Amino acid sequence: MTTFRRPPLGRALLAAAALVLAGVAAAGAAAPSSSLTPEEIIAARQAAYDLSVMDMAEMKMAIKDGLDIRKQFYPAKTLGRWARVLPTLFPPGTGQGETTLATHARPEIWTNRADFEKAAQNYAAAADKLAETAQSGDASAFAAQLEATDKTCDSCHDRFKAK
């Protein structure tokens, strides 16, 4: 008897969120200005952060459950892609108090842009190494690199996210 295995939660949420974000983008494109509003940009970046948290949780669970680490290549690669686009989701006008949506983005994102972009580059590099490590199938190396990737994420939050 064949048993059905439910897809990992992170991938299911990723697919659902991609549809939501595509809808937000389409709604923005349909507006007369043909660009996203600051509120739509904030909503998109918050959803993307949620998805990256789910990717990290899925990878941690794969390690804990002793799953084939090579199957974590896609979530790891996705984190790198997210890290590269992350700075573009913080245009001027999307800080705390500049829109009707609450955001935890600290002013330093805009006043110290070079450091913010460098932190995103560090995150992308760590996530790229994580994806490479996933391909190797070495679970202990993957676990160590996942921890290193998580630390790059935390270091950015420590500097650029209000508690």
For the domain that residue 109 is a member of, what is the CATH number? 1.20.120.10
On whether residue 2 sits in a domain, the answer given is no
On whether residue 21 sits in a domain, the answer given is no
What pLDDT does 11 receive?
52
Number of domains in the chain: 1
pLDDT exceeds 80 at position 37: yes
Domain that holds residue 77: 35-160
What pLDDT does 8 receive?
53
105-112's contacts with Cβ under 8 Å and 24+ in sequence apart are 105/160, 105/161, 105/162, 106/159, 106/160, 106/161, 106/162, 108/159, 108/160, 109/160
pLDDT in tens, 4-31: 343 454 554 444 444 444 444 444 444 4
On whether residue 26 sits in a domain, the answer given is no
pLDDT in tens, 111-158: 999 999 999 999 999 999 999 999 999 999 999 999 999 999 999 999
